Amino acid sequence: MEFLGSLWRGGRRLMKRKDSDAGDAGRALEELRASLYNEIRTSEGAKRQQQRYCGPVAALSFNFLVAVGIIMANKLVMGKVGFNFPIFLTFVHYITAWLLLAIFKTLSVLPVSPPSKTTPFSSLFALGAVMAFASGLANTSLQHNSIGFYQMAKIAVTPTIVLAEFILFKKTISFTKVLALAVVSAGVAVATVTDLEFNLFGALIAIAWIIPSAINKILWSTLQQQSNWTALALMWKTTPITVFFLGALMPWIDPPGVLSFKWDVNNSTAVLVSALLGFLLQWSGALALGATSATTHVVLGQFKTCVILLGGYILFKSDPGVMSIGGAVVALAGMSIYTSLNLQGSQENTKQILPSPKPKSTGEDSTDLNVNTNTTTIV
């Protein structure tokens, strides 16, 4: 009986310990949830969370995977489904994004925006309007130009961004980076520009698209890096403006007949999948621009083009031609050099930010050394 009694007491102590451990774990999880919730209640905290969990590598990888996915989805929608209304499709993308962001806000998981006085409404309005023209004119350019001319216009975005950042912010890049970007652009041109059929209207649309596309990327990157904007908060503020301008563009650019399209279950599902991927593309693109720069984001898009071309050759035995394969390889080499230069720059900036360690000493020498160090710092 004594043995059974001690066994019973030991079991009760063990049960109490387990209950205590479970309670501690539950309290820890509740504190973590409360901490994360409180973090997104301020723009500074939300920005810290975005930087902590979505650095440059994660943001660029996320954007790359989503971009590949939406290319396949849009090929399905435009090709197999036969949905030939590119502006309306973009309109559906942004309407879907707006609804999802409204749900996030209702659930109190949408990050808080910075105070209105820190960012003038004109900047947000400009970003929303430019985003609509960048998306709409891109689809129109693809519709009225050959693939080769469309790719040439995309390549022209890179020098436009460099020039615009210099004019607007006096931002310069090193000569070695310029050479690397030139190699990337030349390689992509050789890899993708197989035809250059000229169409006056298409050429004007392509030229008109280059500047909004460059400004769009610059604004997304600048507002996030110079203010406490997060990607989702900035999307919430600018998406309604983009929707308005896309609605205004539709009658002028899209062909008539969108309402008479066969909206059955299969076709509607394909459009909805494309719209959901469109939201993820917008979000991942904003994260990538906030974590890196407008130029780096353009290079990522060119990297995607080269990977798709080489992937089709390796995996699916497609034959784009020796010139195209060689151009893609040259472009990837240029991208590697550009990435390496960016990493070196980041390491140098980190070294400059970190304080230099003070030498340790004792006694009177230590006091003299501290005085000298402080004097030097003040001067």
Please write the tens of the pLDDT for every residue from 285-311. Answer: 888 888 887 888 888 777 877 777 777
Q: pLDDT tier at 55 (50, 70, 90 boundaries)?
A: confident
**Is pLDDT above 80 for 166?**
yes
Section 263-281 average pLDDT = 88
* CA 364/CA 367 separation, integer angstroms: 5
Interatomic CA distance for residues 191 and 379, integer angstroms: 56
Q: Which residue has the higher pLDDT, 214 or 154?
A: 214
Which pLDDT does position 358 carry in this prediction?
Answer: 47
Q: pTM of the full predicted structure?
A: 0.72
**Per-residue confidence (pLDDT) for residue 347, from 0 to 100:** 57
Give 50 or 88, the one with higher predicted confidence: 88
Report residue 300 CA to chain centroid gap. Answer: 10
pLDDT of 26 reads 58
Give φ, ψ of 170 to 5 degrees.
Answer: 55, 35
Query: What phi and psi values does residue 63 have, to the nearest 5 degrees?
Result: -65, -40
Note the pLDDT of residue 9: 62
Q: Which of 31-35, 132-136, 226-230 has the highest mean pLDDT?
A: 132-136
Q: How confident is the model at residue 240 (pLDDT cuts 50, 70, 90)?
A: very high
What is the structure's pLDDT at 221? Answer: 86
Strand (E) or helix (H) holding 1: none
Give the span between the Cα atoms of 12 and 278, in whole angstroms: 56
| Spatial separation of the C-alpha atoms in residues 304 and 60, rounded to whole Å | 11
pLDDT of residue 245: 93
Taking residues 116-137, report their average pLDDT.
85
